[in-house]
Structure formats: structure tokens, C-alpha cells
Amino acid sequence: MRSSLELKERRTWRWLLCLAGGSVAAAAEPTFYAARVAPVLDRHCVVCHGPEKKKAGLRLDSFDHLMAGAESGSIVKPGDVKGSELHRRITLPATDEEVMPSDGKPSLSADEIKIIALWIEAGASPTKSLADFPTAPALRPARVAPVPLAPSWREKAAEIAALEKKFGVKLVPRSQVPTDGLVLRSASAPQRCNDQVLAGLAPVARFIVDAELARTPVTDAGLKALGSWENLRAIDLTRTKVTSAGLAALSGLKHLEVINLTDTAVDDAGVTTLRALPGLKRAWLFGSKATVTQYPVATAP
Amino acid sequence: MSAHPDFHDHSLCSDHGGEHPSVWDLPQVPLGLKREWLALETRRHFLGRGVKALGAAGLATLLGRTAPNLLANVAAAGTPGPNFAPKAKRAIYLFMAGSPSQFETWDYKPGLAKMFDQDLPESVRGGQVLTGMTASQARFPIAPSRYAFAQHGKAGHWVSELFPHTAKIADELCVLKSLHTEAINHEPAILQLTTGNMFAGRPSIGAWLSYGLGAANDELPTFVVMTSKMPVRTNVQALSNRLWSSGFLSPEHAAVALRAGNDPVLYINNPAGVDGDLRQAMIAGVNDLNRQLFERVGDPEINARIAQYEMAFRMQTSVPELTDFSSEPASTWELYGPKAKEPGTYAYNCLMARRLAERGVRFTQVFLRTWDQHSNLPTNIKVMAEESDRATYALVTDLKQRGLLDDTLVIWGGEFGRTVYSQGVLRPDNYGRDHHPRCFSMWLAGGGVKPGVSYGETDDFSYNIVKDPVHIRDLHATLLHLFGLDHNKLSFKFQGLDQRLTGVLPSRVIDAILA
């Protein structure tokens, strides 16, 4: 994983060089500072130590600033990892008052700390290249913000709670991120979660991304309701009375990725219907009347 | 109990003790959270009174807890909820107690064949302190695996001939070869895997998940444990409820132990001559008394007990349905084999684990013990592997075909490794292996773990780790991550610390094995 990322990085670089005329010497490879050290500081420190905020008089947004140090003096002693304030601050226990980043922000990963340590140890050079640090870990790409799966349910929390109570189902946030959507859970009382309940959930249906309906009395009539739950990613209909005919009602669910039809009467006609769903990754059909037990038919992982 | 995660920033929920609007007045708070709050409210109530009247400290101490903890717990209680979207909805942990040798299972060391009965080089051992069982041996002769290996699946995992069924699901498995621990004896080692700490008294993984995520099904416990009939009668590991306790978390997070036979959960059946109505009336009466007691003394454990009684009553209907296998199709029995019909066997428990997973139970732990082959390893490990192999394969296959494997994490493994050198006599067909904490193998499948990969490497003697060590804390951090929980954030204040499953020493999520 690590090496392929690095490889890609180098390839892009070479490719850029080609565009630039291709004759530039290998010395133009990215410096270790630019490729590894700066991104770590950018990610964790520059909000407080940059052009806007300069806490303790320290800026970390360029090599020169970093080496200029803070009000109290330099923070990097080339070649002396233990003696460098920069290293000390990022390796303190998370509970220490002096730990950086401060304010309980996530601490540096072991790999990130190692990058800084290797760099200081090798003389805190602005020019040494990536290739000079064969043992340095690669950087993981910053976590991209999660793609919203549904609108935030927060405004509707009261209505959601009222419907939960009315219908005896649970509408559980998938995570603390409100745009991760809700899971409809029926496991506590599957027999209560029938077609009428699904129809009754319409006012909050757009928040639901995962409908757990195994062993409920849901029939094809219920699928009509589900057909308008625009943000559904997954539906579990294990051991319900749904049939192939009912699946046609789901044809508008463009985000649907997984549908579980284990132990249902769905047959090959249903599989044909499902095939038209643009986002579908897997339909589970074990114990159904279809001639395959899953669609698309398994390709080994 | 409700499964509602708490969407609030915990730092905002403090017990300020002053006048405040009732939580029921807040329009934006989901019902589940309100219920959690109500449970808390009862604790607040006690604390408020305690401070005014009795002095909470003295009373709480009488009740076996100290007041500061109680206060802290109020701020920390509630259901934290996933920090980010989870991959796994549930997990099944197949615990091979006694510890299968890595040499005959997952860590293939072909070079050893040529070294039969040679002495383990001193440099490999590096002065490691050995257990009392082999420290006094005059020699440490190398014992190659008596069993052959072959590569399986596209993944090309090397699988021992002892696991012909598991070999068929090689492409589902993520094999970890570089687990390590500090414990050298079973009890502390098993405790460390189940609770994150060698000392008894900490919450088990399942209890943390219950605390962090709540129940998906209110009619069944969130955390279930089953111990399996023992295939061998020597070197038996003790299994007790400290391995599945709730520790300092509220008692309702502890596992319910499902037993083999007619009484899967003890004492929930109505005694002869007592019908359901009478039983319900009785429980209501007992709970009334408990509530009155709570009014007087305010111990939150009383509320937990009330919740337990109510859960037990609900289990009267949910458990018979759960344990009635008559609806299983013939294909189930073909897959799991005839032993699955015999309550209490590992195969039966594996099938039960699938049924629990289908019903939303979050964490099921199945123990299969007596893997502890200090002597007669070749004979006994074969018996154990036969017991484990087919049922384990059946469970993974069954979860997969029913579309459950993608969000069910399966874990298979013991509590430490075993030595490359023989304990006691060494013959090509007979030897034993002592405990070895420095490296051992496990595998994971499903639940958001990369299938068909191997992670970590040991040296030629599977004595030391040479690449990508995985401490038990790292395994736990990764497990919580799969459930959408940040192991640094899932904490509970107790004894002045923000206690966590992963403790205070450094631990990491093993990113490389995440799908």
C-alpha cells in the first residue's frame, strides 16, 4: 500500500518533468522537507503557527520560518532529535499541558513523528531528497470529509423520535455525523414493522440510508413505499414475503448498493429487475428461487 | 435500554446540579437519548439528595463505590455512539483458549524441517525469560511441524493440512502473524485479549461495545458468550465471568452466558406452577420494591437490576425462538455437520452465533478450550482442529451466503503463541510446545477487514517478530475502529482516569488491513 502510493507520487513527478521538457536532472525530485515534513506541519500546526495566528511567535508554514524558531528561540537543533523543542512538543503524552498540537487536537501519528525525527537526525536539511530517506514512512492522504449520504436529520429530531415511538421501530444515527444518515432498525419487534409502518415513515424517509427489515411482515406493498426513500444504500429483506414483482418499485433508488433477499420468493425475474439499478453492488439471493445465490455472481476477493 | 447514540458533545453534558428544564422539553433530542437521560436522572437525583442530606461520599462508599467515581460516572454515562460510520455491525469472536500453536496452523516455517532436534540458537532467544515449565530444560531442540502446508486461494495463504475446510475460505481471511502480548499464562493472557488488561475487573470488549453503541435488539442481550464442550480433557483453561464482565461499566453491559440444553439462560423459565401472568406480576412487584429501595438509598446498581429483571422477562419469549433450530433448512446441517445438532458443541455454538448475528446481537464470544498442548501436541491439536475447522468454515460461509459477512467481523485465535522448541520429549511424531508470548497468529474475516491478505512477519523460528508487530491493544483499537469507534474517545471515568479498552500505552489502528 505504502509503496504504491509512493510510486504514484514519483510517477506523477516524472510525468510533470516530461511536460516540462524532460531534461531536468534527477536532482529536481521533491525534497524530503517539501514532500514529507511540510505536509505534516501543514496538517497539524499551521492553523495556529502560520500567517494568521502566530502562537508563541512561531510560524511553521515554511522552512525559513521553522528554522527561525519562536520568541523564545530556535526549536530545531539539526542532528539532535532529543534536544529539539519541535520533537519534544510532539512526543509528550496527550495529557501534558505543553503537548502540540494543543487544545486536544488529534496528536501526530507514529509515522508522522518518525518523519520529523528522521529529518532532524539527518541534519534538518532543506535540500535532501526523498531518496535520502529510504526508511521514512509514507504519508497517508488526509482523511477526506465524508460524502453526505443524506441531509442532516437534526432539524427533524423531534419528528423522528415521535415516529419511533408511534411505530415501535428505531431510527438510529449511523454516526455522530448527521449527514451519515439513519438506520431503520426493526430487530426488537420485527412483527410490528409492516407495510403501513413503512408508508408512515415517509416524512423522515429521506434520512434513512439503511433499512433493516429482516423477518418483518413487509410485502410488495411495502416496497412501493421504499421506492421513494431516495437515499437508501442498503435494504435487508431477509425472510420477508416480497416477490420479484415488487422489486420493480425500487427502480428509482439510484444510490442502492446492497439488497439482501435471502430466504425470499424472489426469482430470476427479480434479478433482471435489479440489474437495472445503477448503483447496485450486490444482491444476496441464498435460499430464494433465483438460480444464483448472489448477483453479481461472486468474483473472489 | 435504547440504542440511541448520544449525538451531543460529551463535554457539554455535565451534572451542574442546578435547576434546568426537563430533557423532555427539548424538541431536538431524540427519544432514545431522552430515555438514557432519564436513567441518568435517577443518578443525578441521588447525588443531589446525597449532597444535601446524607453526604454522598459515606453512603456511596458503603455501597462499594466511592463518591468521586460516582460523580464522574454521571458525566461519562450515556451511549457515546459511533464517531464515524461503522463497517461492522456485529462481531463473533471464536476464542481458541489454551492457544493453538502457530507452527501447525498459520505461521508456516518450511526451514525448520531441516533443523529437527537442533538446538535453538541462543541469539534467537536473546536471553528471554522462559516459563517455569521449560526454563529448567537442558536443551531447546527445534520441533518442526508434523503437519504439511499448502497454498490456498488467490490469496495464496499457507494453510496447514489440519484445516482442510478453513482452507476453502482462504480468500476471506486476513491472517495476522505478528500478534504479541506480555502475558505468559492463560488466565492473564485471556483476560488481556477479552478486556485489554491482565488484571480482572475491566469491562470486556463486548461490554465496551454495548456501552458505546447500545443494543440493536432490546429483546436480547447485546453481548452473549458461549463456552463449548471440551474435546480434550487435559490442560483445561478456567473460563469465568471475569472474561465477560462489565467491569466498572454499568452491569447491564455484561454478557449473558448461553448454556447448552433446556435452560439456555438460567432462571428465566417459569418455575412449575407459575404462569406468565403471575411471573410478570411478580417481576413488577419486585421492581416496585427495588424502586422504593432506590428512592431510599439511591444506588444506581439497583436500577441496573431493575433493567436486568425486565430483560430476563423479555428473554422468556426471545430465547426460545432463538434456540429453536427446527426452522433451519437441511442445507444448514450439511454445512455445519451433525455435531451442530448437539447442544453445547462448538459447531452448535457457531450456528447459534449466526442466529444471534441475524437477530442483531452485537458481540458473541464463543470459547473453545483445551488447545494447550505442552505434550502430545500432534495428536491433540488434530482433535482440536477437527473440532474447530468445519464449524468455523461453516459459520464464515453461512454468514457470507446470507449477506452478513460484510458487516460481521469474525475473529479466530488464542491468547498467545507457542515455542519453536519442544517441551519434553521430541520425536518426529511427538512433541510439545510451551507458551510463547512474543508472537502468535490470528485471523479476521468480514466486517470491513481486507480479505485475502496476510499481515506481519516473524523470523525463521517464529520466535521474534520481524515486521509489523500487532499488540493486543492494536487489535482492540482496530476492532473498535471497525465499529465506528475511536479507541481514544471511547472512555469511562473510573478511579480518576478516563479508562479505555486500549488503556494508556500507545496503540494504533492497523490501517493496512482495513478494506
pLDDT tens for A193-240 read 999 999 999 999 999 999 999 999 999 999 999 999 999 999 999 999
Tens-digit pLDDT profile for residues B312-340: 888 888 888 898 899 999 999 999 999 99
Q: What is the ipTM of this complex?
A: 0.81
Sequence-distant (6+) residues with CB within 8 A of B197 are: B191, B503
Q: Assign B36 a pLDDT band (cuts: 50, 70, 90).
A: low
What is the average per-residue pLDDT within B66-79?
Answer: 32
Tens-digit pLDDT profile for residues B291-320: 888 888 877 778 777 877 788 888 888 888
Give the per-residue pLDDT at B336. Answer: 98
B109: closest CA of chain A, how far (Å)? 25
C-alpha gyration radius of chain B: 24
Residue A130 has pLDDT above 50, yes or no: yes
Residue B55 has pLDDT above 70, yes or no: no
Looking at beta carbons, which residues of chain B come within 8 Å of A171?
A: 30
Q: Which residue has the higher pLDDT, B420 or B129?
A: B420
The partner residue sitting opposite A300, judged by closest CB among B154, B359, B508, is B154
Q: Residue B166: helix, strand or coil by DSSP?
A: helix
* Angle subtended by helix axes B472-482 and B186-195, to nearest 10: 30
Give the per-residue pLDDT at B251. Answer: 85
CA-based nearest residue in chain A for residue B30: A161
The partner residue sitting opposite A293, judged by closest CB among B2, B217, B401, is B401
- Listing DSSP states for B357-413 in one string gives HHTT-SEEEEEE-----SS-HHHHHHHHHHHHHHHHHHHHHHHHHTT-GGGEEEEEE
User: Domain of A111?
Assistant: 31-132
Instruction: Choose the mutation target among B84, B169, B324 for the interface with A, i.e. most A CBs under 10 Å.
Output: B84
Q: How many CB pairs under 8 A join A and B?
A: 117
Residue B44 has pLDDT above 70, yes or no: no
CA-based nearest residue in chain A for residue B357: A187
Does B30 touch chain A if contact means CB atoms closer than 8 Å? yes
Distance CA B463, CA B439 (A): 7
Q: Assign B56 a pLDDT band (cuts: 50, 70, 90).
A: very low
Give the per-residue pLDDT at B144. Answer: 97
Q: Assign A178 a pLDDT band (cuts: 50, 70, 90).
A: confident
Does A175 touch chain B if contact means CB atoms closer than 8 Å? yes
Element (H, E) at B92: strand B90-96
What ranges make up the beta strands (E) of B120-185?
Answer: 149-152, 157-160, 173-180
Residue B146 has pLDDT above 90, yes or no: yes
B217: closest CA of chain A, how far (Å)? 4
- Statement to judge: residues A164 and A118 lie in one domain: no
Residue A87 has pLDDT above 50, yes or no: yes
Asked if B359's CB is within 8 angstroms of A187's CB, the reply is yes
Distance CA A67, CA A36 (A): 16
Give the per-residue pLDDT at B112. Answer: 97
- Statement to judge: residues A203 and A274 lie in one domain: yes
- Statement to judge: residues A158 and A126 lie in one domain: no
* Domain ranges, ordered by start, for chain B: 90-468
Q: pTM of the predicted model, to two decimals?
A: 0.74
Q: The domain that contains A245 carries what CATH number? A: 3.80.10.10
> What distance, in Å, lies between the first and last C-alpha atoms of chain B?
32
The partner residue sitting opposite A161, judged by closest CB among B31, B359, B452, is B31
The partner residue sitting opposite A284, judged by closest CB among B29, B81, B403, is B403
State the architecture of B90-468 in CATH terms.
3-Layer(aba) Sandwich (3.40)
Sequence-distant (6+) residues with CB within 8 A of B223 are: B204, B206, B207, B209, B210, B244, B253, B254, B255, B256, B361, B362, B363, B364, B365
Asked if B508's CB is within 8 angstroms of A161's CB, the reply is no
- Statement to judge: residues A177 and A95 lie in one domain: no
Sign of the four-CA dihedral B412, B415, B420, B425: negative
A62: closest CA of chain B, how far (Å)? 30
Number of domains in chain A: 2
Give the per-residue pLDDT at B14. Answer: 27
Does A296 touch chain B if contact means CB atoms closer than 8 Å? no
What is the average per-residue pLDDT within B350-376?
Answer: 96
Q: Note if the bond before A296 is cis, omega within 30 degrees.
A: yes
pLDDT above 90: percentage of residues in chain B? 60
Instruction: Flag whether A164 is in a domain.
Output: yes
Asked if A177's CB is within 8 angstroms of B84's CB, the reply is yes
Q: What is the DSSP letter of A239?
A: T
- Statement to judge: residues A109 and A233 lie in one domain: no
Distance CA A183, CA A212 (A): 7
Does B498 touch chain A if contact means CB atoms closer than 8 Å? no
The partner residue sitting opposite B7, judged by closest CB among A146, A173, A258, is A173
Residue A61 has pLDDT above 70, yes or no: yes
Mean pLDDT of chain B: 84
What ranges make up the beta strands (E) of B312-431?
Answer: 363-368, 408-413, 417-422
Looking at beta carbons, which residues of chain A come within 8 Å of B4?
A: 170, 172-173
Does B272 touch chain A if contact means CB atoms closer than 8 Å? no
- Statement to judge: residues A158 and A282 lie in one domain: yes
Q: Assign B375 a pLDDT band (cuts: 50, 70, 90).
A: very high
Q: Which residue has the higher pLDDT, B401 or A154?
A: B401
Residue A36 has pLDDT above 90, yes or no: yes
Give the per-residue pLDDT at A259. Answer: 97
Does B497 touch chain A if contact means CB atoms closer than 8 Å? no
Q: Which residue has the higher pLDDT, B284 or A87?
A: A87
Does B83 touch chain A if contact means CB atoms closer than 8 Å? yes
What is the average per-residue pLDDT within B38-49?
Answer: 48
Asked if B406's CB is within 8 angstroms of A188's CB, the reply is no
A266: closest CA of chain B, how far (Å)? 14
C-alpha cell at B101: 500453536
Give the per-residue pLDDT at A51. Answer: 87
Does A31 touch chain B if contact means CB atoms closer than 8 Å? no
- At B496, the amino acid letter reads G
Tens-digit pLDDT profile for residues B445-504: 999 999 999 999 999 999 999 999 999 999 999 999 999 999 998 999 888 888 999 998
Residue B20 has pLDDT above 60, yes or no: no
Instruction: Choose the mutation target among A4, A96, A108, A188 for the interface with B, i.e. most B CBs under 10 Å.
Output: A188
Mean pLDDT of chain A: 87
- At B46, the amino acid letter reads F
Instruction: Flag whether A2 is in a domain.
Output: no
Burial state string for A18-39 with b = 16 or more CB within 10 A and e = fewer than 16: eeeeeeeeeeebebbbebbbbb
Instruction: Choose the mutation target among B171, B328, B402, B514 for the interface with A, i.e. most A CBs under 10 Å.
Output: B402
Give the per-residue pLDDT at A13. Answer: 42
Give the per-residue pLDDT at B190. Answer: 97
What is the average per-residue pLDDT within A94-98?
Answer: 83
What is the average per-residue pLDDT within B60-76?
Answer: 30
What is the average per-residue pLDDT within B361-381?
Answer: 96
Q: Which residue has the higher pLDDT, B289 or B166?
A: B166
Give the per-residue pLDDT at A289. Answer: 97
